[in-house]
Structure 1
Amino acid sequence: MTISSSLNAGVAGLNANATRLATISDNIANSGTYGYKRANADFQSMVITQSQNAGLYSAGGVRTSTTRMIDERGALVGTSNALDIAVSGRGMLPVAPAVSISNGVQSGTMMMTTTGSFRPDSNGTLRTDSGLVLLGWPANADGTIPVLPRDTISGLKPVTINANQQAGDPTTALKLGVNLPATNTEAGAAGDTLPLSVEYFGNLGTSEALNISFTPTVPGSGSSNEWTMVIKDSAQGGATIGEYTLTFDDSRGAGGTLLSVATVSGGAYTPADGTLDMTVAGGPLLMTIGRLGDPNGLTQLSDSFAPTSITKNGSPVGNLTAVEVDEKGYINATYDTGFTRRLFQIPMVDVPNLNGLVALNNQTYQISPESGSFFLWDAGDGPTGAVVGYAREGSTTDVAAELTALIQTQRAYSSNAKVIQTVDEMLQETTNIKR
Structure 2
Amino acid sequence: MANLVAAAERRRSMTISSSLNAGVAGLAANATQLATISDNIANSSTYGYKRAVTDFHSMVIDGGSGSYSAGGVRVTTNRIIDETGALVTTSNSTDIAVRGNGFLPVTTESDVATDNGEEAMLLTTTGSFRTDEDGILKTESGLVLMGWPAEADGTMPEFARDTADSLEPVQINVNQFAGEPTENISLGVNLPATETESTGEGDSLTLPIEYYDNLGRSQSLTITFTPEVSTVVGTATNSWSMTIEDSATVGEIIAAYDIEFADDRDYGGTIENVTANTATETIDDVDATLASVYDATTGILTVNVDGGPIEIDIGATHDSAGLTQLSDSFAPTSITKDGSPVGNMTSVEVDSNGYVIANFDIGISRVVYQIPLVSMSNPNGLTSLDNQTYEISSESGSFYLWDAGDGATGDIVSYALEESTVDVANELTNLITTQRAYSSNAKVIQTVDEMLQETTNIKR
TM-score (norm 1): 0.95
Which structure 2 segments of 5+ residues have no match? 1-13, 278-289
SS at match of 1:57: strand
Farther-moved stretch of structure 1 (206-215 vs 36-45): 36-45
1:39-58 correspondence runs (5 A)? 39-49=52-62, 54-58=65-69
Instruction: Write the deviation string for residues 114-167 of structure 1: whole angstroms up to 9, x where unpaired.
Output: 111111111111111111111111111111122222222221111112289322
Which residue number corresponds to residue 30 of structure 1?
A: 43
Decide which of 303, 308, 319 is 2:344's aligned counterpart: 319
Whether 1:419 aligns to 2:444 is yes
More off after superposition, 23-32 vs 383-392: 383-392
The correspondence for 1:286, drawn from 311, 325, 328, is: 311
Asked if residue 385 in structure 1 is aligned to residue 410 in structure 2, the reply is: yes
Question: Residue 427 of structure 1: SS of its match in structure 2?
Answer: helix
Q: What secondary structure sits across from 2:195 in the alignment?
A: helix
Residue number among 377, 395, 398 corresponding to 2:420 in the alignment:
395
Offset from partner CA, 1:209-261 (integer Å, 9 cap, x none): 01001112222342222221111111111122211122222232322222222
Corresponding residue for residue 208 of structure 1: 219
Q: Which amino acid is 2:316 matched to?
A: R
State the partner residue of 1:93: 104
Quote the offset at 1:373 in angstroms: 2.1
Does residue 9 of the first structure (1) align with residue 22 of the second (2)? yes
Structure 2 residue matching 1:271: 3-state secondary structure: coil
2:292 partner letter? G
Q: Report the Cα offset of residue 107 of structure 1.
A: 4.9
**1:407, 1:259 → 2: CA distance?**
90
Question: Are the equivalent residues in 2 in contact too, given 1:37–1:397 (CA < 8 A)?
Answer: yes
- The answer to which of 352-361 and 379-388 deviates more is 379-388
Name the CA shift for 1:156/1:272 in 2 (closer, same or farther; >3 Å): same
CA, structure 1 residues 198+167, in 2 after alignment: closer, same or farther (shift >3 Å)?
A: same
Structure showing greater Rg: 2
- The amino acid of 1:151's aligned partner reads D
Over 3 Å counting, the alpha-carbon distance change for 1:106 and 1:46 in structure 2 is farther
The amino acid across from 1:42 in the alignment is D
- Supply the distance in 1 between the matched residues of 2:330 and 2:455 (Cα, whole angstroms): 118
Residues 217-296 of structure 1: matches in 2 within 5 Å?
217-221=228-232, 222-264=235-277, 265-296=290-321
Measured in 2, the distance between the counterparts of 1:299 and 1:60 equals 97
Give SS of 1:32's match: coil
Aligned length: 433
Contact 2:352 2:404 in 1 (8 A): yes
The aligned amino acid for 2:254 is I
Tell me the secondary structure at the aligned position of residue 49 of structure 1: strand
Report deviation, 1:106. 5.3
C-alpha contact 1:163 1:320 (8 A) present in aligned 2? no
Q: CA RMSD in A?
A: 1.8
Q: Name 1:118's counterpart in structure 2.
A: 129
Q: Residues 399-424 of structure 1: CA distance to partner in whole angstroms, max 9, x if unpaired? A: 11111111111112122222222222
Distance 1:108 1:373, change over 3 A: farther
Partner of 2:61, secondary structure, is coil
- Structure 2 Cα separation of the partners of residues 338 and 95 of structure 1: 31
- CA distance in structure 2 between the aligned counterparts of 1:105 and 1:391, rounded to whole angstroms: 32
Which aligned segments of 4 or more residues in structure 1 are displaced greater than 4 angstroms?
105-108
Letter in 2 for 1:75: A
For 1:185, give the aligned amino acid. T
Displacement after TM superposition at 1:318 (Å): 1.0
Q: Give 1:105 shift.
A: 6.0
Offset of residue 101 of structure 1: 2.0
Question: Which residue is 2:148 aligned to?
Answer: 137
Match of 1:154 among 162, 165, 182: 165
CA 164–313 in structure 1, closer or farther in 2 if over 3 Å, else same? closer
| Unpaired segments ≥5 residues, structure 1 | none
2:420 aligned partner, one-letter code: S
TM-score by length of 2: 0.90
Is the 2:63–2:69 contact (alpha carbons within 8 Å) kept by the matching residues of 1? no
For the 8 Å contact 1:105–1:154, the answer to whether it is kept is no
What per-residue deviation string (whole Å, max 9, x for no partner) do you get for residues 50-95 of structure 1?
Answer: 98xx433222222111111111111111111111111111211111
Q: Distance in 1 between matches of 2:259 and 2:61?
A: 98
Residues 126, 134 of structure 1: 8 Å contact kept: yes
Q: 1:9 Cα deviation (Å)?
A: 1.7
- Correspondence for 1:407: 432
Q: 1:127 — aligned with what?
A: 138
Q: Which whole-Å CA distance do the structure 1 matches of 2:31 and 2:116 have between them?
A: 40
Matched-pair contact (CA < 8 Å) for 1:188–1:220: no
Q: Which residue identity lines up with residue 90 of structure 2 in the other structure?
A: T
Quick one: distance in 2 between partners of 1:152 and 1:411?
Answer: 49
In structure 2, relative to structure 1, the CA distance for the partners of 1:242 and 1:164 (3 Å cut) is: closer
1:362 corresponding residue in structure 2: 387
Write the distance in 2 (CA, Å) between the matches of 1:30 and 1:10: 30
The one-letter code matched in structure 2 to 1:259 is E
In structure 2, what residue type is equivalent to 1:258? I
Cα distance, 1:108–1:98 mapped onto 2, change above 3 Å: closer
Q: Distance in 1 between matches of 2:344 and 2:146?
A: 24
